[in-house]
C-alpha cells in the first residue's frame, strides 16, 4: 500500500466519522426541538404576604408576553356574617406587563398599591362591611408553541392574611362551614372571569 492509498483510506474514515457525528448532533437537535414543543411551562403564581404578585418560572422554557389585568369584586356581608359577591369593576387596561420571564430562574414582580389596588388594614368592627377582593388575571405565552395560558389569582387589600389569600406561609384554623364558603366564592369568581374574558379555550394553570 503506497502513501496515497493510505491517505485516501484515512480521509474516507474521517469523512465517515464526521458524517456520523453530524447525524448525531442533527438527531440531538431534533429531539430537543420535539421535547420543547411538547413541554409545558411550569409557573408558580401567587400574591405573597407583602401583597406582591410573583410569577416564578420553574420550567425549562421561557414564557413571554406577560400581562396582568385586574378586576375588583365588591362583597356583600359583614365580618361576622356569610358573604357573597355583590358587584365587580374591571380596572382599565393592564396593570402590569413584562416581555419575558426566563426559564428556571426568571421572575416577574408586581406590587399591589395605589392608585388601582390600594392595600389597607383589616376591619376590626364586625359591623363594618368586608373590603373588596382583587382578582388578577395573569396571561403568559408559551415561548415555543405560542400558546396562551391564563391564571386567576385572588387577593385581598388586607395587610393581614385571610382565607382568600395564598396561605402557604401562614397557619389558620376555623369552622369548616366558614372555610367552605370562601372556597365557593373563589370558584364563582374564577368561573365569572373565564366567562367575562372568554378564556374557556385558554390553557389554565
Which residues, 6 or more positions from 205, have their beta carbon under 8 angstroms from its beta carbon? 41, 43, 45, 149, 150, 151
- pTM, rounded to two decimals: 0.75
What are the tens digits of pLDDT across the range 141-197? 999 989 999 999 998 887 666 667 777 776 767 666 666 667 788 888 999 999 999
pLDDT tops 50 at residue 11: no
Residues, the chain: 205
pLDDT tops 70 at residue 86: yes
Domain definitions of the chain by residue range: 1-38, 40-204
- Residues 21-33, mean pLDDT to the nearest whole number: 51
Amino acid at each position: 500500500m503506497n502513501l496515497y492509498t493510505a491517505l485516501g483510506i484515512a480521509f474516507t474514515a474521517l469523512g465517515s466519522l464526521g458524517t456520523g457525528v453530524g447525524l448525531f448532533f442533527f438527531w440531538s437537535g431534533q429531539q430537543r426541538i420535539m421535547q420543547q414543543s411538547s413541554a409545558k411551562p411550569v409557573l408558580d403564581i401567587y400574591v405573597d404576604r407583602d401583597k406582591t404578585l410573583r410569577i416564578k418560572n420553574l420550567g425549562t422554557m421561557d414564557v413571554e408576553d406577560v400581562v396582568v389585568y385586574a378586576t375588583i369584586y365588591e362583597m356583600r356581608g359583614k365580618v361576622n356574617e356569610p358573604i357573597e359577591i355583590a358587584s365587580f369593576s374591571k380596572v382599565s387596561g393592564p396593570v402590569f406587563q413584562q416581555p419575558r420571564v426566563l426559564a428556571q430562574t426568571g421572575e416577574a414582580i408586581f406590587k399591589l398599591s395605589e392608585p388601582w389596588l390600594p392595600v389597607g388594614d383589616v376591619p376590626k368592627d364586625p359591623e363594618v362591611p368586608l373590603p373588596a377582593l382583587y382578582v388578577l388575571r395573569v396571561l403568559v405565552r408559551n415561548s415555543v408553541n405560542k400558546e396562551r395560558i391564563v391564571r386567576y389569582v385572588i387577593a385581598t387589600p388586607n395587610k393581614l392574611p385571610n382565607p382568600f389569600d395564598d396561605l402557604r406561609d401562614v397557619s389558620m384554623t376555623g369552622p369548616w362551614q366558614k372555610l367552605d364558603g370562601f372556597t365557593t366564592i373563589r370558584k364563582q369568581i374564577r368561573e365569572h372571569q373565564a366567562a367575562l374574558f372568554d378564556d374557556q379555550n385558554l390553557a389554565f394553570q
